[in-house]
Amino acid sequence: MSATVAAAAAPPLARLSADEWRGRAEAHAQRADALTAAHRDRSARGQKHPVEDFLFTYYSYKPSVLRRWHPGAGIVLQDARERAEWRWYTPVGADGARVDDAAFREQRGSLYRGAVGILRATLARNAAFGCFGLHEWAMVYRAQATRHAVPLRLGSVGTDAVVEAHDLRCTHFDAFRFFTPEAVPRNRDRLERDGAAQREQPGCLHAGMDVYKWIVKLSPLVPGELLLDAFELARDIRTLDMRASPYDLTDWGYSPVPIETAEGKAHYVREQRLLSERGQLLRRAVIDVLDAAAPAH
C-alpha cells in the first residue's frame, strides 16, 4: 500500500487539550483510589477479605494499575511531552503524544488477537443462565477443606447434597479447573484450556469478571474510564458469586442468595442477567474503540 493510500485510510485522530486530558486523568485517579481504598487499608493492616481480595489476588493487578489513565487509541494528548516517554506511546508534533496502537498490535500480536478474539466471540454468543453459580459448590464438593476460612452455610453434607441434586453446567475453564476431582465428571462438559474461546458465553459470571482482565492486558489501547467500569463490574459480579456460594458470609455483611431454593435461583438469574448485559456493553465499547483506531485489522 502506498503512503498516500495508507494516510487516506487511517482514521482521523481526536485531540485533547492539556486541561481536558489532565482533568480526566486526575478524576480517574480519584475514582480508582476510592474503589481500592478499603483493600489498601486492609492490606496495610495485614487483614484478609474472603470476597474483595479476589480482585487483587486472582487477577494479581495492584491498585496502582487502576490509577493510571490512558486516553485509548486514536487520541492525541496536547502538551504531553512526559507521555511521549511512556511505554506504548509515541510523540506527535512538538509537544503532543498518543498511544502507539500499531506498535502494540505488532509487538503484542498474540496477546492482542487472543484478547480481542475472546471478547468478540463472547459478544456474539447467546447467554446461558442455567448454571446457578454452582461452580463454587463444585470447588468444595466432597473436599476435606474449603477454599476460604469461612464456614459452609449448609455444612459439608448439605453442600454435597446440593451438588448431587443439580446438573453442573459450567462453561468457563478457569472456574472448572478448580473443581474437586469428584465434581469434574459431574459437569455437563469436560472443559479444556484450548477450547475456552469456543465455550465462553456472556451469561457466565467469570467471563464477565474477565472483561477487567482483558482490558488491563489491552492497556493502553482502551480508555481508562472503561477499565474502571470493568473493575466495578468485576466487583459486583464477585459479590453475587460469593453470595450464591456455599459459604456463610453473614459475619462479613453479605446475605446469602440460596440457589438451592426456587426463590434463590430466580434471584440469582435476575442478577445474572443484569450483570451479563453490563458485560456485553463493555465488550462492545472496547471493540468499538479498537475498530475505530484500526478498522482494517
Please give the pLDDT value at position 276.
Answer: 98
| Residue 171 reports pLDDT greater than 80 | yes
Q: Which candidate, 121, 296, 125, 104, places its Cα nearest to that of 217? A: 104
Q: What's the pLDDT tens digit per position in 226-255? A: 999 999 999 999 999 999 999 999 999 999
Judging by beta carbons within 10 Å of its beta carbon (0-12, 13-18, 19+), is residue 84 exposed, middle or buried?
Answer: middle
Letter for the amino acid at 216? V
Query: How many Å apart are CA 187 and CA 176, to the nearest integer?
Result: 9
| Residue 4 reports pLDDT greater than 50 | no
In this structure, of 10-14, 92-96, 232-236, 255-259, the range with the lowest mean pLDDT score is 10-14
| Residue 69 reports pLDDT greater than 70 | yes
Q: What's the pLDDT tens digit per position in 26-65? A: 999 999 999 999 999 999 999 999 999 999 999 999 999 9
Residue for grid cell 453475587: 240
Letter for the amino acid at 129? F
Q: Is the peptide bond before 220 cis (omega within 30 degrees of 0)?
A: yes
| Residue 153 reports pLDDT greater than 90 | yes
Q: What is the mean pLDDT of residues 166-177?
A: 96
Q: Rounded to the nearest 5°, which phi and psi values hold at 14? A: -75, 160
| Residue 2 reports pLDDT greater than 50 | no
| Residue 3 reports pLDDT greater than 70 | no
- Please say whether the beta carbons of 162 and 139 come within 8 A: no
Letter for the amino acid at 197? A
Q: What is the largest CA-CA distance in the chain?
A: 71
| Residue 203 reports pLDDT greater than 60 | yes
- Please say whether the beta carbons of 231 and 36 come within 8 A: no
Letter for the amino acid at 166? H
Which are the contacts of 166, defined by CB distance < 8 A and separation ≥ 6?
A: 132, 134
Please give the pLDDT value at position 1.
Answer: 37
Please give the pLDDT value at position 195.
Answer: 85
CA 231 to each of CA 65, 66, 96: distance values in angstroms, whole numbers, following the listed order: 11, 8, 29
Please give the pLDDT value at position 11.
Answer: 60
| Residue 281 reports pLDDT greater than 70 | yes
CA 185 to each of CA 46, 157, 189, 252, 272: distance values in angstroms, whole numbers, following the listed order: 38, 19, 8, 33, 25
CA dihedral 66, 67, 73, 75 (to 10 degrees): 160
Q: What's the pLDDT tens digit per position in 48-57? A: 999 999 999 9
Q: Are strands 14-16 and 75-77 parallel, antiparallel or unpaired?
A: parallel
Provide the grid cell at 13: 485522530
Q: Calculate the CA 173 to chain-centre distance.
A: 15
| Residue 100 reports pLDDT greater than 50 | yes
Beta bridge partners of 75: 14
